[in-house]
Chain A
Amino acid sequence: EVHLVESGGGLVQPGGSLRLSCAASGFSFSSYTMGWVRQAPGKGLEWVSDISESGGRTYYADPVKGRFTISRDNSKNTLDLQMSSLGAADTAVYYCAKALSGGSSYSDWGQGTLVTVSS
């Protein structure tokens, strides 16, 4: 059974940084594209970033480009999202998600971790 567990969320001041992690188990981690999707309180889903199986290709949504960095460690089955220059618009639940083979539709999701940007 696929298991994705996010950690690292919390309260951070505007302009601050935070690193989210996702521990994956129950599948061959290195064989799948992984991604982050966020959801602001009461709002819809917003794709944040994707990383290819090997980590060699990364993609970002325009609002986070240049501020967020996605990475993965296939030896530890972990996915990370380094976030910097955070603003109120980044306040959201951040979900780690596993893509289906052949494209980034997300077949499995973690429970999410809440990031709150506030002074």
Chain B
Amino acid sequence: DIQMTQSPSSLSASVGDRVTVTCRASQGIRNYLAWYQQKPGKVPKLLIYAASTPQSGVPSRFSGSGSETDFTLTINSLQPEDVATYYCQNYDNAPLTFGGGTKVEIK
């Protein structure tokens, strides 16, 4: 099974900062990588699919990049409403797998 390793597990940044979350797959998954945002007490929300395609309605400050084993989620100009846990997901082949999550807080 493909393992997804996210780093860091948590981070604290100031409003307006650029934030980067990384996700590494234990083997190549082409670009079958999605990013989700889960705010406290809420349902997960799809941000990015196919590694770099933003889901409809997602603010432009969110972007994704990468392929095969190394992927990045970038939040340009962190906003207070971005406080959440972010998960990557491999959907290349079953069993699908999620990363362990990155909790983003405001400093």
Contact = CB atoms under 8 A, between A and B. Distances in A.
Interface of A: 35, 37, 44-47, 50, 59-62, 95, 100, 103-107, 109-112
Chain A facing B: main interface SS: strand
Contacts of B87: 44-45
Interface of B: 1, 32, 34, 36, 38, 43-46, 49-50, 55, 85, 87, 89, 91, 94-101
Contact of A105 (B43, B91, B94, B100): B91
Contact of A59 (B38, B49, B94, B101): B94
A104 B91 CA distance: 6
Contacts of A35: 96
A2 to B, nearest CB: 12
Q: Which of A50, A95, A104 neighbours the largest number of chain B CB atoms within 10 Å of its CB?
A: A104
A45 B36 contact: yes
A104 B101 contact: no
A111 B41 CA distance: 10
A64 to B, nearest CB: 10
Given A44-B87, A47-B96, A109 B43 contact: yes
Nearest to A111: B43
A64 B55 CA distance: 30
B44 A45 contact: yes
Contact of B96 (A50, A107, A109, A111): A50
A47 B87 CA distance: 12
A63 to B, nearest CB: 9
Contact of B98 (A46, A50, A59, A60): A46
A107 B43 CA distance: 11
A107 B95 contact: no
A50 B34 CA distance: 16
A103 B49 contact: yes
Given A45-B38, A61-B96, 20 more contacts: A44-B100, A44-B101, A45-B44, A45-B87, A45-B89, A45-B98, A45-B101, A47-B95, A59-B96, A60-B94, A60-B95, A61-B95, A95-B43, A95-B44, A100-B46, A103-B50, A104-B91, A105-B46, A105-B91, A110-B43
